[in-house]
């Protein structure tokens, strides 16, 4: 069973926790010194046995933060909980979060929040895939509510570039953050469900798709075929964290609309071009460094100290 089940969660309230406490690196250094090593060891084990797990875990953190802040609410079960929204379709990796939480509870009961686990797991998934190794700020509290209607805030695969920019702006994130966090699609896959609309529109295929990739996409995702067939988001290196996704977008090889449209806007197009150019140069912005900084900024969404630390009851363990 998953730690999501709200009814079997015990709540531990740390009365010594200051309401003025802010996120910081090394938050658990004294209260749970092995927390980050426990998280890292589980991520390495799980991602080594399943190459698709690293991007799945990274996606969990993004989906948690972008709805009502990084509060672990994506893990709450219920008929109207946010993870029931169609905008969260295909989320997975919850069982890994279960294992991490169980080990942390055994080592440091009631100390490490689920929200922080999601942030650390995402960081370690990026590093496992060859991306930057960055320091995660911790000290988040877990939210106690989850509402599927709030998932309307989440960027989705068929959003236009203007909608994407507005959704990021509403979160205090910039066009640059939009490009950088989309760069996470350099690892992982999508489903035909999110692609067929670009292929079989009555007026013809999306004209921004490079014609040379159309036969492959149509072969993998035939009209009326299985919607759950998986496609690489990064056509060149879907298990390696790099800038090849941006080159694919520029060349018309973006698989989903929300990636492809970034090259139709002057602002986001310019940012993409800069990262492509700097990937083979010693000057210009460094994608890996900027991506890490953008992840930290996203990790501050909704940060507050008024929540709780969810604690797993033994009855919920597998």
Q: Determine whether the annotation assigns residue 69 to a binding site.
A: yes
pLDDT score, position 19: 31
Q: Determine whether the annotation assigns residue 238 to a binding site.
A: no
15-56 pLDDT, tens digit each: 333 333 579 999 999 999 999 999 999 999 999 999 899 999
Residues belonging to the active site = 63
Q: Determine whether the annotation assigns residue 71 to a binding site.
A: yes
Who wins on pLDDT, 6 or 173?
173
Chain Cα centroid distance, residue 121: 10
The residue with tokens 């599927």 is 148
Percent pLDDT > 70 in the chain is 83
In degrees rounded to 5, what are phi and psi of residue 30?
Answer: -100, -30
The residue with tokens 């919920």 is 316
200-249 pLDDT, tens digit each: 999 999 999 999 999 999 999 999 999 999 999 998 788 889 999 999 99
Ramachandran quadrant class, 139 (left: phi over 0; alpha: psi -120 to 50; beta: rest):
left
Q: Determine whether the annotation assigns residue 185 to a binding site.
A: yes
pLDDT score, position 206: 97
Helix 53-68 × helix 114-128 angle, to 10°: 140
Q: Determine whether the annotation assigns residue 155 to a binding site.
A: yes
Lowest mean pLDDT among 66-80, 95-109, 158-172, 182-196: 66-80
pLDDT score, position 170: 94
Q: For the residues 264-273, what does the mean pLDDT come to? A: 98
3-26 pLDDT, tens digit each: 443 333 333 334 333 333 579 999
Q: Determine whether the annotation assigns residue 186 to a binding site.
A: yes
Q: Determine whether the annotation assigns residue 64 to a binding site.
A: yes
Longest dimension (CA), the chain: 62
HSE-CB of 193 using CA atoms within 13 angstroms: 10
Residue 16 burial (CB < 10 Å; 0-12/13-18/19+)? Answer: exposed
Mean pLDDT across the chain: 86
pLDDT score, position 10: 38
Residue from 65, 57, 78 nearest 9 by CA: 78
Who wins on pLDDT, 138 or 302?
138
pLDDT for residue 286 is more than 70: yes
Percent pLDDT > 90 in the chain is 70
Residue 204's contacts (CB-CB under 8 Å, 6 or more residues apart) are none
Please provide the distance, in angstroms rounded to a whole number, between the alpha carbons at the two ends of the chain: 6
pLDDT score, position 237: 82
Residue from 10, 22, 23, 30 nearest 101 by CA: 10
pLDDT score, position 186: 95
pLDDT for residue 67 is more than 60: yes
């Amino acid at each position: 069973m998953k730690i999501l089940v709200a009814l079997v969660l015990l709540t531990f309230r740390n009365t010594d926790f200051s309401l003025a406490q802010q996120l910081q690196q090394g938050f658990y250094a004294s209260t749970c010194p092995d927390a980050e090593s426990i998280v890292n060891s589980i991520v390495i084990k799980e991602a080594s046995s399943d190459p698709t797990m690293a991007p799945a875990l990274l996606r969990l953190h993004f989906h948690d933060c972008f709805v009502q802040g990084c509060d672990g609410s994506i893990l709450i079960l219920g008929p109207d909980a946010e993870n029931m929204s169609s905008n969260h379709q295909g989320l997975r990796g919850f069982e890994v979060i279960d294992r991490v939480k169980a080990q942390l509870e055994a080592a440091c009961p009631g100390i490490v929040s689920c929200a922080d686990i999601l942030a650390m797991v995402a960081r370690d998934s990026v590093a496992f895939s060859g991306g930057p190794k960055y320091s995660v700020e911790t000290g988040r509290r877990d939210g106690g509510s989850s509402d599927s209607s709030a998932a309307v805030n989440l960027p989705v695969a068929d959003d236009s570039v203007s909608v994407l920019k507005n959704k990021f702006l509403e979160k205090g994130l910039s066009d640059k953050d939009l490009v950088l966090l989309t760069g996470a699609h350099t690892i992982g896959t999508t489903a035909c469900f999110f692609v067929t609309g670009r292929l079989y529109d009555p007026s013809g295929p999306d004209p921004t798709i490079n014609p040379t990739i159309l036969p492959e996409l149509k072969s993998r995702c035939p009209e009326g075929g299985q919607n759950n067939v998986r496609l690489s988001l990064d056509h060149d290196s879907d298990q390696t964290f790099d800038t090849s996704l941006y080159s694919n977008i520029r060349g018309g090889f973006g698989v989903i609309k929300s990636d492809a449209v970034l090259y139709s806007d002057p602002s986001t197009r310019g940012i993409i071009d800069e990262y492509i150019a700097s990937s083979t140069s010693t000057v210009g912005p460094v994608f890996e460094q900027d991506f890490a900084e953008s992840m930290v900024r996203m990790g501050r969404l909704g940060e507050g100290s008024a929540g709780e630390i969810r604690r797993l009851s033994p009855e919920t363990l597998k």
